[in-house]
Chain A
Amino acid sequence: MFGRNKLSPYVTENLSEDLIRLENLVKIYDTGAIKVLGLKKINLTIQRGEFVAIMGHSGSGKSTLMNILGCLDRPTLGHYYLDGIDTASLSSNELSAVRNLKIGFVFQSFNLISRTSALKNVELPMTYARISKRKRSERAMELLECVGLGKRAYHMPNELSGGQRQRVAIARALANEPPLILADEPTGNLDTAASIEIMEIFSELHKAGATVVVVTHEENIAAFTHRIIRFSDGQIVSDERNPNPTPGSGDVHTKGLYKNRATGAQRGQSKELEQAKDAGKGDNVC
């Protein structure tokens, strides 16, 4: 049922519950002289709507996994199905399209484009999805208001605090309403207060139906999530439910930030995305 249309796999509808499925995933770094085994036969399934932390020390393979999950890198062996699409068979341009529509990235160092306003930064994924200028600036403004930065829309990244920058990055990650939010040490460069704020936003997103995967090495950050996967030496050493996730303070308002994707069929292509967005205005959970 998937991969029939190889050129635009992200158009296919997928009702599978598994958003991420890794089968015997191996990553080997070939540096010429020596071969380094980055990941050793990983099998992992993450379902739609889960809130997962991936933990491990540096060199444990979690960053490698993150790159593969983010379609920035390809596995050496095995399969990675994202939303039912076998990413191994995709060209680099197709991977770009997958990243654009299926994945929202939040990085440790924010990775906002400098000398470009917060609004333009949030618009960027929509620009690459070929969404009309008017619609994307409307949506970007809406997203910035949701993360409490409506008044800072025209500020440059260097005029914002770390926490504010990360909130812009979250708004940007949500621009195309991707099913998967991938956060790589999202609080690594933030103070405790800002870290908690960011994690509360992720909690709210999770409640709204988003699948959130957070890579971290801090226990108190992982404590917000509902499932903790620990990595060591390129292998999964434990995979446990978190019975008592840290509750949000309730101070964070994310109304309209994320629309419930868990129930509806996937809306992949940008045109469909726009139509769906127009039609489903009342679909907001928060």
Chain B
Amino acid sequence: MISLQHIERVFQVGDEEVHALRDVSMTAAGGEYIAIMGPSGSGKSSLLNILGLLDRPDSGSYELDGVKVSELDEKEQARIRRHKIGFVFQFFHLVPRLTAFDNIALPLMLAGMKQDERQERVTAALAAFGLANRAQHRPDQLSGGQRQRVAIARATIMQPSVILADEPTGNLDRNAGIEVVEILEELNHQGITLIIVTHDPELGKRARRQILMVDGRIEDDR
């Protein structure tokens, strides 16, 4: 359950104030599938950053699963990101010197899970995402689709309640893109809230709910 109320975000660019988000309010029930769309500079990435607790709004409140997360301090917000939110990025953001296995295990390792416990979960994840024979490959030895699958496996390894995907297919060819979207949709079927930011209308149409942003405002929500 996500609830944003009157979110404002202003950036200072030179001497100019840029209103990235203007009075944005929205709610999303658990398990929803939402595409946030709009032209570049419309504020959709800013919205995703607020939703992912990577950025703080200048005003307004944000409630996630009954907790007013916008009022938490940095330490507690980090804890929420660790346990409740999985990120999928356009450029994958894999650690280049780590193997696929270690990249997926990274959140578990950072959370302090012991190596033998990690082993089991990561191996299962590798199998589930069709990467079993790629475990010891480094990112530069993987195709784009495989990289994004590693990234999704990493985003879900902590069993978050929300996945935030920023242009997840933006850097993939068509087939790999469809494959990745289907994986994300399958996760959504299992009950994870899926929020995708995209300017690809075809991808947007697949979502059950589309939010259109223009100039920092929610223009349309259906």
Bind each other? no
